[in-house]
Each structure stands twice: as C-alpha cells, then as structure tokens.
Amino acid sequence: MITLYDFELSGNCYKLRLLMSILNLPYDIVPVDFFPGRQHKADWFLRLNPFGQLPVLKDDDLVLSDSGAILAYLAKKYDTSGLWFPDDPAITAEVLRWHAVADDITSTSSAARLALGYDYNFNIEKSQRGAHRIFRLMDEHLWFGEKAGRDWLCSPAHPTTADIACFPYVMLSEEGGISRQDYPALRRWTDRVRRIPGFTVMSGIFPAGPAKVD
Amino acid sequence: MPLSLSDPNWYPIASSEDLPFRHVYQGQLLGRELAVWRADDGNVNVWENRCLHRGVRLSIGINEGQELKCQYHGWRYANQSAGCTYIPAHPADAPARRIENRKYPIREAFGLIWSAANDDQAYAPFPGSDGHDWFALRPMPVNATPEDVVAGLARLAPDDEPADLLPALVVRVGGVTWFVQPVDAGRAVIRGLLPEKPADELATLRHYNELLTKLRDRLERAAARKPAPEPLQPVFEKVSADLSTMPDIAVPRGNTLTVVVKRKWQSADGVIGFELADRDGKHLPTFQPGAHIDVHLPNGLVRQYSLTNGPGDLSRYVIGVKAESASKGGSKVLVETVREGDLLQISEPRNNFPLRRDATRTVLIAGGIGITPLLSMARFLDKSSLPYELHYFTRNDESAAFSSELGVLHGHVERHAGLARDAIRAKVAAVMGPYQFANHVYICGPGAMLEMVQQVAADLGWPDEAVHFEYFQNDKVIDSSSAFDVELARSAMTLHVPAGKTILETMREAGLTVPSSCEQGACGTCLTTVMEGEVDHQDVYLNKTEKASNTCMMTCVSRAKSDRLVLDI
C-alpha cells in the first residue's frame, strides 16, 4: 500500500497526487504540517527524509523522497502503458532534463510564493525574475512545439512525468506575483495538462473545461 | 510621445493562433487587461478581464464554447454581447437582462487579433496591407516603453535603407512590418508580419525569433538603467445605474428593435422557420434559454415566439411558426405575408421560462411547435455537457421541425410520432419516472398536453417547483368584481381598489411607479410580496404551491378575497 506524506498546499506533493489520480492508484495520506508547524523539520520526519523536504512516499517498506524521483518510480512501477516515463534512453534523458527544470521552477516560482504567502525569507524579486526567465524559455519551447505538432514538453505524442513535474508551480505562479500574461503558449499547455483524463485539482489550481467535440 | 489611455488607434493584441477553441487568452492594451476568447462559431471576444460580479479575472475562467464561465461563482456570459446568461446562485431565475461585461472592439485580420481602447476610430487595415498573404511571426513581449521598442526596431534597418515609421507604432524594416502593441507604459509586445508565407516556415520563424530575442535583451538592459515609468492607471468605470438597479418599468411595450427577415423556410410540414437579424449585421441582445420575443405583426397584432438559438448565438434569432395556427390573423400573417427581406419590429428577449443548470437530470418534453424553447434549452445543456433528454411528440414524422438542429445534439433526443393521447400519456409517465431529488422537467406544447404532463408529474410525486412550463397569455376570464383595500407597507399608504380596476392601475393613479409588462398575469414582471390578507389569484404565472403559499401575487390581474391586503411596496 502507498502512503503519501503530504501537505495540502504543496505543489510538490500535488505532483504525486496528480500522477496517482491519473494512474488511478489508491493511497493513504499522512498530513504533515509544513506551515506553520514546520513538521517537515521535526525529528520524526527527518528520520524519514534527512533532507527535511516534502513529499515522502512509502510503498510498503520502501521510503522515497524527492517529487521528481517519486514520479519516475510511480510511473515505472505502476504505469502499465509505459507512456509516462518511457524506457527509450533519449526520451528518458529528455524527461529528466525537464525534471531538472521543474526543480528550477520550484526554487524560483515556488520560492516567491513561499515568501509572499508563507513568511519565508526568500528574495522575492530575484525569485520572480528567475521564474520569468524559465517561463520565457518554456513558452518559446512550447510555441515552437505547437508549430511542429508537439503538444507536450517532451517529444512523444503524449504527456510524460516532465509535464506533471513542471505543471504545479507554473499554475501557482500568480501566488508568487508572477503573471503568465506574456506566455501564451505556456498558458495553452496548462489547458492541455488540465484536460488529461484523471486530472485533479488543488487549492489555487482550477479545472479547465472540456475540449471542443465535433 | 507618452501613451494615452484614450488612444483611439487599433493595435494587434494577439495572433489568431493564440486563440484555439475553448481557451481564454490573457492580454493587455494601454494598461487595461483583456480576456480574449474564440467561441465555437469562430467569433473572437475581447472583454475587460474582470467579472463584474466580484472582479475575478475572466482569463482564468472557462471557455464553454459559446459562453464564458467565471471561475469564481460561475456566472456565464454570452459570446458576442458579453451579457450574463446564468447566475448559479439564482438557478431558477433569469438574470437581469442588462448585466453585461465591458467589451472592446475586435477585428481579426492578417493572422492577428486587433483591438482598440475605445470605439472612437473605425478599424482600417494598415497601409499597404492589400494584395499579400501575410504571415505572422512569433510575438515577443518586451519590458521596455513602447516608444523605445519602436526606436529599437527602427535601428534594425541598415544605414542605406532606413526604416519607415508609420502611425500607431508601426515600423517597416526591409520586408517586415513590425507592430508594437502598447501593453503598458513600460511594456510592449512586438508583432511582426511577413508579406508572404516563407518557403521554410520553421527556419524563418526561428530566424526572426532569434533576432527579436537579442533586440529584447538589449532593450531590457537599457530599460533597467532608466527609472521605470509609472504604469498607466486605467479608470474602471462603475457599473452603470442601468445595471445596478431594477428598471422602473421592466419592458415598456414600445421598446422595439427592427430586424430583417434573413431567411424564411419550411422546417417541417406545418412549421415555418424565420431567421431574424439586425439590419447592419450587428449582434442582437442577450437572451437565455427559454426566452421569447414579441413580434409586432404587420396587422397590428403582437405575438410571442420562443427563440430556438443555442448559447452565444446572437447573430440572428431563429423562431418557428406554426402554419395553420388557430390564432386568427396572428401567425397566419407571418406565414402568409411576411417575406425574406421584410422588416419586422420585435421586443428584446424576455424569459418567463428559465432553465436551471444545477439539475442532475433534465427532461425536456415538447409537443409540436413547443419544440422551439426546448431546442434552445437542449443546445445550452449540450454545450455545458450537462445531462438531459429531449422527447419530441409530433402528429407524424413530416411535422417534426428542426431535424438537422436536433440531429447534431449529443444528448438523448427521442422523437415520438403519431401517438394517440393515451399513448403519449403513458410515454410521458415512463420517461419521467418517479420524482428524484434535483430532477427537473420542462414542458412546452398545446394547452391540453401541458395539463396532462402536469397531472402525470403530480401523480408521480414531482413537486411543482420541479415542473416548468410557460404560458404566453392568460386565457382565463378575469373576474374584477371585488372591491377591497390595499395597504402598501413601505409606502405608508392605503388605497381602495374598486370593482373593475386592478391593483396595478390603482397604485399608478396614486403616483407610484410599479414595473409591469404583459398586464394579463402571464409574464411575472409585477410579482409582489404579500404580507397579510388572502389573495384571489387569477394569473397563470405562479404555480399551485406558490399560489397556495399566499405570500406573493401578480398585481395586474389578481385581487383580494379578504377586505384588505398588505403588500410589500
């Protein structure tokens, strides 16, 4: 049985809830009071993850941390279609490249959100600038992707964990004072992610309506 | 040249391809944020990015195809008019007719979406636009003043072939026409057009994207060395009194629109379709499913017809008219003498038959020409992917109207032709089944059928508030022989209503302004709260439960059984 150590307002925890919802995986939740309780720095939590970061996922006796690593684990173990984390070496590299971008989005967009909404002492302006720099590159990548008939961050014709990993803190960027007005292709991609069957929401992330059917 | 909030120029605000179906684009022009969306019929809407209910950005809302739904409280706004069509907090009511979001002028041309801050200047294509198959480049947002961006673009030109600076922030350099969209005092978007589609599209797009990226980086480094300009401060106009208050007299009879009969056709045996449109091609006023219009006929009669249109379809109104109507001189005139190209006077749409969108199951039952409002309802439910079933009873197959319109619906649509009265009754009972919570049924058809379905519904335990129907007119003979007093609680006034005079007339004679419309107890406009006394209901608007509650009445026809009534007026 899978247990997720979860904070409801965490985009990194939401990545796992989102993939498990898409894969239709049952799991239990242990709520961790990240804010204001800082339980992720409590002794009992540090024994699970010495890095003191959410999320942590337990699958029977296996204890895993880092949202990107856990996304890869869940996909490889439970996604029978093999689409979410493809085996092909080149595509694996592509997906991991975007997992790294997702971490950059966390350290910028999420940091600005934590500074504005959760009393974190991060440099707001620097975090916002950093997020805009990444969003510009993502928008360009996705814009040229649309021109070439590619809907997702990676080259396959279907979404991968790269899309799941990058999605939450793009969508939550307004909470960090980062407008997405200048990134129309990025905004269209968020529509597509929100239309993946099995998509689920979190606070601050709204559903998209259905696509047009003829 | 500082930017002006009242700049009348048209600027490109998006590329055509920025607006796929079911997406809401977030834009900005001269400090004003915009929600831009393409409806399923292709029409592009440019609205202020603010729901006029609680101010939430409409760009995070849902493009439902022909309506935009605000993410916060679910208010729906119609394609074209931006009029409010549904308020989930008042699911059983039709929203006030005049609630309308602020919209901006729009034109789609040369692969770009154009808009302006106001309507002061008619759209004109940019100079030299004729005769080319324009190709839009990837737009480039820049955090620099629009004038600095124009200057930067001009510097792209080689010394021996200087750039052409055109009005409205346009720069022509070599073969490229660059438009600078003034987003705000310190922000701009560069939008480039090539006169022809290049041989290698992707390589060309990449080339110009690289060029613009370098220009952007230079401009932003320069901008960072200067003090940032104050952002423009657009004034958000207050909601007009028209919008925020009830109109004095809801719908004066004389308030009509002139429309032209665009198309007249035989929709089925005995049913004639009429397509009515604005003479200048503008859109018609917002309507909600179930709405009807008054049509002023050439012989002086006024008749009501339900709109069949789907959501956000305001380019025309389509009505269905029964050819051999018993109404002497009413529909007959329309069918026999009105031709394509003729002008007609109609009222703005009114809705006495509002459709709830919070039902778990919606059953639509149409008899004959009664299909018209139910077709509209089915189209709305269809677009919102809400569950419904439509049962359409006709005398025979040939008299089933609007077949192609019904054919494209995704819901459960069933036609029943040629059933006898008992068979119709049995079918209706089987279709409706025992009442379950949040089920609603809507009926439109001949009077006998209306009564039959109401009876069936009552037998199956359906409460009155789940059974919806509409009377266009009150055929009852009004008994105005009683005489009584009305005490108007808020106005601190007691009036005597003599026999032969209505409460409404008595109140007007006493100088009160009271809204009314049909004045025959059918439309619901003069609905009034009753505080004391026993009402003698003579209208067809209130249902049995409402009448029995003795808490409201229609002052245009209903009277008092008691000597005295106390009204909340």
* Domain residue ranges of chain A, discontinuous segments joined by +: 2-78, 89-194
> pLDDT truncated to tens, each residue of chain B (569 aa)?
678 899 999 999 999 999 999 999 999 999 999 999 999 999 999 999 999 888 899 999 999 999 999 999 999 999 999 999 999 988 887 776 678 899 999 999 999 999 999 999 999 999 999 999 999 999 999 999 999 999 999 999 999 999 999 999 999 998 899 999 999 999 999 999 999 999 999 999 999 999 999 999 999 999 999 998 999 998 877 666 666 554 443 333 446 899 999 999 999 998 999 999 999 999 999 999 999 998 888 877 778 899 999 999 999 999 999 887 555 566 788 888 899 999 999 988 888 899 999 999 999 999 999 999 999 999 999 998 899 999 999 999 999 999 999 999 999 999 999 999 999 999 999 999 999 999 999 999 988 899 999 999 999 999 999 999 987 667 778 899 999 999 998 888 999 999 999 999 999 999 988 877 778 888 777 889 999 999 999 998 888 888 988 999 999 999 999 999 999 98
Instruction: Assign domain B484-567 to a CATH class.
Output: alpha beta
Collect all residues with Cβ–Cβ distance below 8 Å to A103 and sequence separation of at least 6. A68
Q: What is the pLDDT of residue A3?
A: 98
The partner residue sitting opposite B23, judged by closest CB among A144, A188, A207, is A188
The partner residue sitting opposite A188, judged by closest CB among B20, B138, B209, is B20
Minimal C-alpha gap between B372 and chain A (Å): 23
Contact A184 B40 (CB under 8 A): no
Give percent helix, percent strand, percent coil of chain A, each to the nearest 5. 50, 10, 40
Q: What is the pLDDT of residue B250?
A: 39
User: What is the tens place of the pLDDT at every residue in A136-163?
Assistant: 999 999 999 999 999 999 999 999 999 9
Please answer whether residues A128 and A73 qualify as being in contact, where contact means their C-beta atoms are separated by less than 8 angstroms.
Answer: no
Contact B206 A144 (CB under 8 A): yes
Q: What is the pLDDT of residue B530?
A: 93
> What stretch of H or E contains B25?
strand B24-29
Please answer whether residues B541 and B523 qualify as being in contact, where contact means their C-beta atoms are separated by less than 8 angstroms.
Answer: yes
Strands A2-6 and B317-322 turn out to be unpaired
Decide yes or no: CATH 2.102.10.10 for domain B1-125: yes
Q: Does A1 touch chain B (CB under 8 A)?
A: no
The partner residue sitting opposite B62, judged by closest CB among A209, A212, A213, is A209
Contact B62 A213 (CB under 8 A): no
**Cβ-based contacts of B40 with chain A (< 8 Å):** 212
Q: Does A214 touch chain B (CB under 8 A)?
A: no
Among B residues 155-174, those touching chain A with beta carbons less than 8 Å apart: none
What 3-state class would DSSP assign to B507?
Answer: helix
Q: A153-173: b or e for each residue (b if 16 or more CB lie within 10 Å)?
A: bbebeebbbbbbbbbbbbbbb
Collect all residues with Cβ–Cβ distance below 8 Å to A61 and sequence separation of at least 6. none
Q: Does B25 touch chain A (CB under 8 A)?
A: yes
Please answer whether residues B350 and B523 qualify as being in contact, where contact means their C-beta atoms are separated by less than 8 angstroms.
Answer: yes
ipTM of the complex: 0.96
Contact B62 A207 (CB under 8 A): yes
| Six-digit token string for B98 | 């005049």
Indicate the fold that domain B256-347 takes in CATH. Answer: Elongation Factor Tu (Ef-tu); domain 3 (2.40.30)
Among B residues 207-246, those touching chain A with beta carbons less than 8 Å apart: 209
Q: Does B76 touch chain A (CB under 8 A)?
A: no
What ranges make up the beta strands (E) of B395-492?
Answer: 412-417, 439-444, 467-469, 484-488
Decide yes or no: CATH 3.10.129.10 for domain A2-78: no
**Cβ-based contacts of A187 with chain B (< 8 Å):** 23, 25-26
More confident residue, A80 or B446: A80
Minimal C-alpha gap between B134 and chain A (Å): 17
Among A residues 133-162, those touching chain B with beta carbons less than 8 Å apart: 140, 143-144, 146-148
The partner residue sitting opposite A143, judged by closest CB among B40, B69, B138, is B138
Q: What is the pLDDT of residue B329?
A: 60
Give the whole-angstrom CA distance, residue B110 versus residue B134. 5
Pick the CATH number of B128-219 from 1.10.10, 3.30.730, 3.40.710, 3.30.70: 3.30.70
> Could you give the count of Cα atoms lying within 13 Å of B366 in the half-sphere of its Cβ?
30
Cα dist from A59 to A11, A78, B355, B482, B549, whole Å? 21, 11, 49, 81, 61
For the domain spanning B361-469, the CATH number is 3.40.50.80
Decide yes or no: CATH 3.40.50.170 for domain A89-194: no
| Residue A165 reports pLDDT greater than 70 | yes
Q: What is the pLDDT of residue B477?
A: 85
Contact B62 A184 (CB under 8 A): no
Give the whole-angstrom CA distance, residue B396 versus residue B418. 5
Please answer whether residues B308 and B405 qualify as being in contact, where contact means their C-beta atoms are separated by less than 8 angstroms.
Answer: yes
Give the whole-angstrom CA distance, residue A74 versus residue B279. 62
Q: Does B69 touch chain A (CB under 8 A)?
A: yes
Minimal C-alpha gap between A108 and chain B (Å): 19
Residue among B38, B40, B60 with most chain A CBs within 10 A, to mutate: B60
**Cβ-based contacts of B26 with chain A (< 8 Å):** 180-181, 184, 187
The partner residue sitting opposite B205, judged by closest CB among A147, A180, A187, is A147
**Cβ-based contacts of A144 with chain B (< 8 Å):** 138, 202, 205-206, 209
What 3-state class would DSSP assign to A167?
Answer: helix
* Domain residue ranges of chain B, discontinuous segments joined by +: 1-125, 128-219, 256-347, 361-469, 484-567
- Using alpha carbons, select from B3, B50, B439 the residue that is nearest to residue B188: B3
Q: Does B67 touch chain A (CB under 8 A)?
A: no
Residue A203: pLDDT band with limits 50, 70, 90: very high
Q: What is the pLDDT of residue B472?
A: 66
The partner residue sitting opposite B40, judged by closest CB among A147, A181, A212, is A212
Q: Does A197 touch chain B (CB under 8 A)?
A: no
Contact B65 A206 (CB under 8 A): no
Give the whole-angstrom CA distance, residue B75 versus residue B219. 42
Bridge partners for B564 per DSSP? B485
